[in-house]
Amino acid sequence: MNASPITATLLVSCSDQKGLVARLTDFVFRNNGNILHSDEHIDEEAGLFLMRIEWDLKDFAFAREQIRGAFEPLASELSLDWELRFSDEDRRGAIFVSKFDHCLYDLLFRHRAGELRADFSLVVSNHPDLRGLVEYFDIDYQVFPVTPESKPAQEAAILAELERRRIEFIVLARYMQILSPDFVAHYPRRIINIHHSFLPAFAGPKPYHQAHRRGVKLVGATSHYVTAELDAGPIIAQDVVRVSHRDSVEDLIRKGRDLEKVVLAQAVRLHLENRVLVYGNKTVIFD
Q: Which of 159, 216, 228, 230 binds a copy of itself (CB under 8 A)?
A: 216
Q: Which of 9, 98, 238, 274 binds a copy of itself (CB under 8 A)?
A: 238
Burial call 74-89: b when 16+ CB within 10 Å, e when fewer = ebeebebebeebebee
Q: Which of 65, 69, 76, 113 binds a copy of itself (CB under 8 A)?
A: 113
Q: Report the run of H or E that residue 73 belongs to, with start and end.
A: helix 64-77
Residue 266 beta carbon to a copy of itself: minimum distance, rounded to whole angstroms: 9
Concatenated DSSP letters of 123-135: EEESSSTTHHHHH
29 binds a copy of itself, rule: CB under 8 A: yes
How far is 247 from 252, CA to CA, in rounded Å?
A: 6
Stretch that binds a copy of itself, among 118-126, 161-169, 188-196, 212-220 (CB under 8 A): 212-220
- Report CA torsion sign: 195, 257, 115, 238: negative
Asked if residues 99 and 117 have their Cβ atoms less than 8 Å apart, the reply is no
* Known catalytic membership, residue 231: yes
CA dihedral 164, 170, 172, 173 (to 10 degrees): -90
Catalytic residue of the set 16, 26, 88, 231: 231
Which are the catalytic amino acids? 231
Q: By the criterion CB under 8 A, which residues form the site for a copy of itself?
A: 1, 3, 18-23, 25-26, 28-30, 32-44, 101-102, 105, 109, 113, 115, 133, 136, 198-202, 214-218, 220, 234-235, 237-240, 242, 244-246, 250, 254, 257-258, 262, 281-285, 287
